[in-house]
Amino acid sequence: MKYIATIISVALAGVFTVTGCSGGKNNASAEAEAADTVAAVTPRVQLIERLGKVRDTGKFAFGHHDDTAYGHTWRGEDGRSDVKEVTGDYPAIMNWDLGLVEWGAGKQLDGVPFELIHNEAVKQDARGGINTFSWHPRNPATKGDSWDTAGGNVVKEAVTGGSALNDTVREWIGRAADFIGSIRDAAGNRIPVVFRPWHEHTGSWFWWGGDNTDTESYRKLWHMTREVFDAKGIDNVVWAYSPDKVDTVEQYMERYPGDEYVDIMGADVYCFDGKDGLEQYAAKVKSTLSAAVSQAEARGKLAAFTETGLESITVPAWYTDVLMPLVKEFPVVYVSVWRNADNIPRHFYTPYPGHPAEESFKAFYNDSITLFAKDISEIK
């Protein structure tokens, strides 16, 4: 972010210096040039700078997946949010998933209409919040879901020019790009979003990750993704790299696609097994976030805790006593938890009214270090 901000500042300084020492027509010309320079600041750069301001506050934004699309025991009720019902405010960050956009489907993999996602993303932006996107695409070789790891090294074939899978995956990436590029505000301007494709690649549960492919092919997949987006002129994407839990910086960086492809160094680490899993969770968060933050600082990037949570929140004080102390150790710009399913009773990651974790979550909300929608709307 620093190098981007520096480039913009120098460019604008040069423009206004010319304006100040010129007269008549030269003044008008310089003013026009200044306007062109400002217009050239893309939505991507604007969001990177905004997230940099969040980092500089020493606070972090809180995020929740599919927050206004559905929640515990409800779905599709306009304006409703489990987070809002507990805290009185929406999350600062809302994450959405693009799974099945590659097929041209009307709904994504959890049954949320893409039209609704589009509209809710616009609403989130209008209230001053930020949107992020993940993507669980189908296996292009088997047509199974993201967790179908059959078909051999699918990624290697997908990045090989001239192959049938290469054509397919390029088309799929293009559909994801088209959707993200279509998200615009009331004035017709593209809304900047964070996109973290091919996530949790350090594990082997997705067809693009772990033992299912090799380092070179994975990097080429990232490069191809960016190539397709750039060819379409999609300028509203902040790119996030988000491995699952690791023990070392070397593991974290093993398949890193390169500085020119990444803006955010992310980390996905979940808490399992309730109280029995807290020690292991803390250790993995520290090793993974330590890698993310150190590499972000070394490379002029931002760091984020891109996915986390404890299913059912079986430890009522998890937000205040477990998550908060860990996050305070690392300067991340946001922390995002997973979804509250409407049709799976135990599959939720934020409390709903009456849940034992409700009071802890309210305390988490009221902590001066957390940012929700009303807070982040003041950081431009």
Residues 6+ apart with CB under 8 A from 21: none
Sign, CA torsion 48/206/183/166: positive
Q: Which two tokens stand for residue 292?
A: 């993310």
Look at the block and give the residue holding tokens 């409700």.
Answer: 358
Same-domain check for residues 144 and 230: yes
Please, which pLDDT band fits residue 17 given cuts at 50, 70 and 90?
very low
36 and 85 in a single domain? The answer is no
- Sequence-distant (6+) residues with CB within 8 A of 232 are 174, 177, 178, 181
Verify that 5 and 109 share a domain, yes or no. no
Q: State how many domains the chain has.
A: 2
Q: Which CATH number goes with the domain that contains 208? A: 3.20.20.80
| 288 and 346 share one domain | yes
Please report which helix (H) or strand (E) contains residue 289, including its range.
helix 278-299
User: Which pLDDT tens digit goes with each residue over 92-106?
Assistant: 999 999 999 999 999
Is the model's pLDDT at 86 over the cut of 90? yes
For 34-84, how does the pLDDT look when each residue is reduced to its tens digit (9 = 90+)? Answer: 444 445 699 999 999 999 999 999 999 999 999 999 999 999 999 999 999
Same domain, 124 and 175: yes
- Looking at residue 3, its pLDDT comes to 36
Per-residue pLDDT, averaged over 213-242, amounts to: 99
User: Is 212 in the same domain as 125?
Assistant: yes
Q: What is the mean pLDDT of residues 294-321?
A: 99
- Who's near 93: CB < 8 A, 6+ residues apart? 61, 62, 63, 64, 129, 130, 131, 132, 334, 336
Q: How far apart are CA 379 and CA 377, in angstroms?
A: 5
Is 15 in the same domain as 139? no
170-206 pLDDT, tens per residue?
999 999 999 999 999 999 999 999 999 999 999 999 9
Write the CA distances from 18 to 32, 37, 115, integer angstroms: 12, 13, 47
Same domain, 235 and 245: yes
Same domain, 35 and 140: no
Which pLDDT belongs to residue 11? Answer: 36
Domain range for 342 is 43-376
pLDDT higher than 60, residue 14 = no
**307 and 356 within one domain:** yes
Q: Which residue in the block uniquely carries the two structure tokens 């090793």?
A: 287
> Tens digit of pLDDT for each residue in 27-44?
545 544 544 444 569 999
Q: Are residues 23 and 118 in the same domain?
A: no
At residue 7, the pLDDT reads: 35
Q: How confident is the model at residue 125 (pLDDT cuts 50, 70, 90)?
A: very high
- What pLDDT sits at residue 160? 98
Mark whether 7 and 151 lie in a shared domain. no
Q: Which residue has the tokens 């090294």?
A: 153
